C-alpha cells in the first residue's frame, strides 16, 4: 500500500533549488531510512556498506544491533563529507540492483529506492537527482525541460556526436565534490557547433563563423542570431581561454547549457521539418 501523498501526487513535488554542494541532515537520515524500508534493514549490513564507501573500519566494540550499531550508522552518515552521502546512496542502489529481490525484502527494489530518494531530493530543494542509480545534476524545471528536449531531438535525428556532447556537459556539472563548469560550457557549445556544422554542410568553421557565412541556412532570426554569436563569444572566452580566478559560476554554466540546448532544439526541428516531404 502506497502512502496518501504518493497516491495523490503530492509527494516529491519540487521545491526551489537551494542546496547544491551539501547534504542536509534530512537527506542523510533519509538515505539510511529508505534503504531500511527497501529491505536493507539490519544496522550491521548498513554499517558494512557505509564503511566500505568511506574506507573506514567499523567499531569492533559495537556488536549489538540496537542501539550500538544503529548509533554507529547514524554517526557515520551524519559526520561524513557531503559528497560521500551521495556515494553511499549510489552504493545502496547498486546493492539493490545486484539482487532480483532488491535488498532482500519481498517488495524491495532498486527502482523504489531511487523513486523515494528522488522524492526527498525534490522536496528538500536539493540540486541533484538519481537516474538509473547515478546521482546527477538537477536544475530547475526550465533547465530540465530544455536539456531533455535537446537530448530527445538529437536522439531522434541520429546526431549522436552532439548528443554525447550534451551528456558530457551534464556529466561535468555532476562532478563531485567540485563540478567542472568550464567543461560544461565547452561541451554545451560543442553540441551546438556540431549541429550548426551538420546543417550548414561546413565541417570546419567555428560557430561564430558559421553564423556569419551560413546565416541563411541556419535561419536563426535577427537579432537572435547576434545573441547566439555573443553566447559563443562568451563560451570561447570563459570555456576555452582560461584565466586565473575566472571560474564561471553555477548560474553562468547553467545559463549557457540552457541556451545551447534551446538553440540545438530549434535548429534540428527547423532543419528536419524542412526536409520532410
Can you tell me the mean pLDDT for 140-156? 95
Give 128's strand partners.
Answer: 137
Can you tell me the mean pLDDT for 234-251? 75
Can you tell me the mean pLDDT for 105-131? 89
Better pLDDT: 11 or 177: 177
Q: What is the pTM of this model?
A: 0.84
Better pLDDT: 37 or 275: 37
Can you tell me the mean pLDDT for 61-68? 95
Amino acid at each position: 500500500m502506497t502512502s496518501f501523498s504518493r497516491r495523490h501526487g503530492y509527494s516529491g513535488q519540487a521545491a526551489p533549488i537551494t542546496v547544491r554542494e551539501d547534504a542536509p541532515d534530512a537527506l542523510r537520515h533519509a538515505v539510511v531510512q529508505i534503504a531500511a524500508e527497501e529491505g536493507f534493514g539490519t544496522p550491521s549490513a548498513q554499517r558494512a556498506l557505509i564503511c566500505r564507501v568511506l574506507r573506514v573500519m567499523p567499531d569492533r566494540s559495537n556488536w549489538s544491533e540496537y542501539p550500538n550499531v544503529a548509533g554507529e550508522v547514524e554517526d557515520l552518515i551524519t559526520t561524513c563529507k557531503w559528497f560521500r552521502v551521495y556515494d553511499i546512496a549510489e552504493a545502496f542502489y547498486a546493492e539493490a540492483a545486484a539482487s532480483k529481490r532488491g535488498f532482500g525484502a519481498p517488495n524491495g527494489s532498486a527502482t523504489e529506492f531511487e523513486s523515494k530518494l528522488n522524492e526527498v531530493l525534490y522536496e528538500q530543494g536539493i540540486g541533484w537527482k538519481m537516474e538509473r542509480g547515478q546521482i546527477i545534476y538537477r536544475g530547475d524545471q526550465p533547465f530540465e525541460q530544455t536539456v531533455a528536449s535537446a537530448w530527445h531531438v538529437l536522439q531522434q535525428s541520429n546526431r549522436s556526436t552532439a548528443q554525447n556532447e550534451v551528456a558530457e556537459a551534464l556529466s561535468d556539472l555532476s562532478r563531485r565534490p567540485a563540478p567542472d563548469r568550464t567543461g560544461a560550457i565547452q561541451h554545451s557549445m560543442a553540441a551546438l557547433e556540431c549541429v550548426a556544422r551538420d546543417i550548414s554542410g561546413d565541417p570546419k568553421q567555428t560557430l561564430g563563423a558559421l553564423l556569419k557565412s551560413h546565416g541563411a541556412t541556419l535561419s536563426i532570426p535577427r537579432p537572435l542570431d547576434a545573441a547566439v554569436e555573443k553566447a559563443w563569444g562568451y563560451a570561447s572566452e570563459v570555456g576555452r581561454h582560461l584565466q586565473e580566478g575566472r571560474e564561471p559560476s553555477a548560474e553562468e554554466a547553467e545559463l549557457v547549457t540552457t541556451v545551447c540546448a534551446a538553440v540545438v532544439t530549434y535548429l534540428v526541428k527547423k532543419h528536419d521539418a524542412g526536409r520532410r516531404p
